[in-house]
Structures are given as structure tokens and as C-alpha cells.
Structure 1
């Protein structure tokens, strides 16, 4: 045998080696995720050791690749790294085959088929994304037929391993669902190969030993392919889980940020509802005291003292809101309302008529919401409605609390909800309640609130 006899496998092997070496050196040079020092190190080892160093480079730098840009959950660099390992395995096995069959009559044909199969193996990966659909479907079939025929000619463990390498490269390149077809096709071809061998076996051949060898080959094929297929499936599952966990972390961060914003809004609403009401009544008391200061200084001082008390209460409410105390246990609901009504009447002159259904039990969280709503309604009646009287009705209705607040202010059909009423409405709806507003020109303003009762334990 001369060197020319090995050319069909040497030429494509050398060309592919050099081309892939240049390709991965270029890939490394333009990799923005590596600093200049690491680039030179990887380039040096790829130039020196070729495919093994290129495979290590791909595996080592895959952590910089965005997994969401991968195909079927596995990033392209990892797929290429496995492909390079399979290419190296094919080269080693091909050399074993040609050296073992050096005196065989099929040697020239074997070398030619190995060279063509090797070329198809490389091209199927390099041109994978550029091939037309027809070539996508037919290329694995051609590869499988060719390597099974090589196994038929060689009929040893090395040729069987070449079949396994090619099938593994097909699984590595193609989607799992599609690769199942080629796996079954390869198994059927091996069965046909085995049947032909049994049929053409000469009588002196130990048929039982031949059949045993065929069974072992088929078993090795099934076990290897099943292991490689399962490994890829497990990697896809792991990457999906990693991406899911990353998504959950992102969502958790967003929810945490939303919670912080909601808490800030809640505290803002608390300050607006409580402090806004108290400061409004204090401002009205100061204005009233200023107007009567010359006529009745004693009564004016009473107004100023009341305003000072309201300001102090405002400071208390601010401290309470900053501490984020949300659900105070307001058990004496009637007493709270009466105290609020007396304070409002004394400071502003607004008369409040309160009617509460006897025996109604309101949960503490609902008491807080209703009292804040009443304060907001009082503030709006004084500030915008110029009301002098306000009616408040609280009763039960179909397992809900129903509260109606009406004033005798200027009213108006066209109105815009301000910060206070909007916060009040959002707070009520967050507890599953409803809030409706109605205003008529010169007939006052009415707010209707409906809250589910819940259960008191």
C-alpha cells in the first residue's frame, strides 16, 4: 500500500482540520467576552493542539453565552464542543479501521467511503443552518447508509463505533423528535446488515457465533444511542429549569420592587387620608379664629387651641404611618365615630348625623378602612363641597357592610377623583369591595361603599 491509497481520507482530513482550526482561532479572536490575554492563550493552544484545544475553548467559554439564544435549550457552543469530540473520535477510529483492513480486498473502497463519510460529517455541521430543508432531511439518511455499509465491509468493533459516532452526531445536530427517526432508521439498517451477513455466511462459519456477535452489536447500538439521547434530553431539561429559575428570580425581584412601591403608595395614602383631614380641619379652625379674633378673642383662642391639637394629632398620625402600622385594632368603632364627629363639629362647624345599624360587628381591618374613608369624605365636603351638614349611614346588606355618606354641598355632575378619593377607592377594592360616587349640581355629593363582611374568629 502506498501513500496515494490513503489520500481519499488524508486529504479531506487535513483540509477540514486546517479549516476548522482557522475558524475557531477567528472565533476566539472576535469573542468580546474574553480579555486580550485569554484570547492569546486560547489561540496559542488551538494553533498547537487543534481540535482538542478548540473543544476545551468552546466548553470553557460557554458560560458567557445567553442560554435564551440557544437551540432546544442547549447553547450552540456546547453543541459544537461535542461535535469536535465526535470528529476526533471518528478520525481515530478511521485510522484503526484502515490499518486493520490493510490487506483486505475492499481496502480502497473502505478508505473512499470513510473519506466521504467524514466530509459529510463535517459539512452537515458547518452548513447546518444554511442547508435547504431537503438536504436537512436527506443528509443524515445518506450518512447512516454509508457508515452501515462501512460496517458491513469491515464487520468489527471499530466500524460499529464509527456507526455510533455518526448517529451521535445526528442526535447532537438535530431536534430530539427528528433524531428519533434517524435512530430507528440506523437500527433497521443494522438489522438488514445482520440478516445479509447471516444469509451469505458460508457453511464452515460458526453461525451461532455470528448470530451472537450480531446481537451484541445491536445491543451496543441500543445502549449507546439511548445513553446519548437521554443525556441530551437531560441537558435540555436542566437548561429549561435553569432558565425557569432565572425567570422566577427576575419575577421575584420585580414583585419585591412592586411591593416596595405599593408600600410607599400605601403610606402616602395613609398620610394623605389621616394628616390631610386633620390639617384641613386645623386650617378651617385657624381661618374661623382669625375672622372672629377682634369680635370674640376668647372664642378665637379656643379655635386656635383646637387647631394646635389637630396639628399635634397630625404629627402623631405621621409617626404612625412611618412605622407602617396598617391594621390597628379599633374595637370601639362607635366611640371613634362620635369622637371624630365632635372634633369636626367643634373645629369646622360641620354637623354630622350618624346612623349605625344596631348589633353590627365590623372587623378591625374594615373599621380602619371605613374610618379613613369617612375622614376623606369630610375633608372633601369641607374643602370642595362647602358643605354644612353630612349624613352617615352604616348598615349590613347581603353579608356586606354598606356605608353611605351624603353632604349638602354644591355638588356637581362633572368631577375628577383626586389623590385621596383614588386611594380610598383602591383600598376598598383591594378588600373585594365597591365604591361609587354620585354628584348633582346644588344637591350635594354622595359616596356609597360596599365591603364584604368576612368572619370574626
Structure 2
């Protein structure tokens, strides 16, 4: 964008130079000349400050080109001052392609008006005029680029705001879907409990009432009813356990350790605002209760230490499962240290991993964060080793 204050200053400066040039030229100014100069300046100022329509600006500019020829031949002064003022207005007020036409017209006017002047005069005037017009083109091009960049930035900002708004709407939608899913699951659970447990308990109440009525007069009959009630209760218990197993899928049981760690990280992110990223390989196998507990405690300790001591803003946790073992890598972008003294936290981590037959290691460097690595054998592998040890003892 053009600096309007600077442009106004330059315009008035050129007008002042034009008047000084006329005075220096030694021309005796008549009232008609003074009126003509006043009309010339008025036309120039009205075009720049007041005229909005392009066709009016073009007419004003054509009048000025005629006025320049009259002023230079009649009143005198410096031709280059007239032409610079005209060229500046041509590049600021007019638009393409009209601007190009008037710039050519200004150059042709310079050639015609200086036809009777010396070669040196022609060369200086033409060189200065062409350089100024070229400079104005460069400035205008740079201004257009900035305007285009600003428009692009505004579009990107609007797109970003729309994207953020859409993301919030998706989060609200996901939250509502989650709540709806929970409500449906609760309804399903209530039906399951009503159909299985409720029916069983109702039957038991009826049977117990029957036992209560006949136990004094017919103990043998009460005993038979009691036996039947015990069998019914056992069958009902089996049905309840089956229903619970259906409600809690096997996959949840197998990967409950990972799910608990995910829940820990989710709550930690909510409380601290730290970016924690958990990822793992496509291949996974169930963790034992000891492994789940140890990994949970180590992740918990690492998260706390990364924020408390390392001032970390990003924590990455990767669980790599393969056929034989699990490698858990925990890395933060904290301050790190070149000299680490193992405190209660690090010692506790090492002891927990060692107790279940794993390997614990860590590396850190000042400015490069802290990295902890845990290696644990697969559960089946541990069982094989245990059996081999038993056979060896036999």
C-alpha cells in the first residue's frame, strides 16, 4: 500500500519546485499566467483528491498533458518537473491499461517538447523520466504483491477459523455420540440385568416364600424345594457370569493394560495441557497383570518427572510389540541433563522392571530431553522359561 502522507508531501514538493523553476527561469509573470498556473495546479489536485470515476480522471489527465505543453512553451520552467508530476499521477491514479497509454504519452511529450533543446538536455530529461517511470512500476508491482499476499493471508485466516469451528463442531458431535452410545449401553445393560438377574431373584424370592410356608409341616418337601432352589441359583449365577463376559468383550480383557495407560495419558493431558502422544505397533499381545502394572507406574512417573524436572511440552511414548518381546520407549523434549543422579523415581522404575525380568535403561543430554527404554519378554515366553526351569530341577 502507498504511504498517502508521503505521496502528498512529494506532490506539494514537486509543485513548489515547478513554481521555483518558473521564477528561476526569469519569466515575468502576468495575471493571465498566474491564473493559468492556478488552474493547472487546481486540476492536478482535484484529480488526486476528489475525482472517483475513472473517465473523469482520464479527462483531467488529458487536460494536464495539454497544460504541460502550454506551460512549458508559454511560461517556461523545468520540463522534467512537469513530467515527473504527471508521471507520478499516471501511475498512482490510473489503472492498467490506461496507465501504460499515458506513460507512453508522457515520454512522447518529453521528446516533442525538447526537440529544439540540446542533445545533453534531451538525454538527461529522457533518462531521468524513464528511470522514474520504471521505479514507479516497480513500486506499484511491489504494492500489488503485498495486497495479494494480504488477501491470501486473510483467506487462509478465514479458512483456519472455519476449520477450527468445524473441528469444535466435530468434537461436540463426537461427545454427543459418545454420550448417546453410553446411554444406549446403559439401557442395554439395564435390560440384561432385568431379564436375567431380575428374573432369577424374583424366582428365588418366590421359592424362599414357599420354603418358609412348608418347612414346619413338611420338612422333607422343604428340603426338596431347597435343593431345587440351589440348582436354580447355580444356573442363574452361570447366566449372570455369561452375561458379564458378553458385556465385557475378550479383547477388552486382553488389552485392558493398554486401555488403562491410554486413560492415564488422556487425564494427564487434560490436567497439564502437555502434548502426550501414545503409539504402538499393529501387532499386539496381551500384557500380564504385572507387566500392565509396571508399565502403568513407569509411564505415570515419567510423565510427572518430564513436567516437574524437564519442563517438557511434548512427550512421546511408543510401544513396539514383536513375536518375543515388548519395547516401551518414553521420550520428552525437556531440558535434559549431562549429569544424572538416580533418585527414588529412577531407582523405583529400574527395580519394578527388574523384578518382572525386564531390562531398564535411560539416556539424557543437556538440551536434548530425557529418554527411557523398557524391554519386557512376552507372557508365553516367560511361561516357557518357567517350565524349562522346573524340568531342570526335576
Task: Give the TM-score normalised by structure 1.
Answer: 0.39
State the structure with more CA Rg. Answer: 2
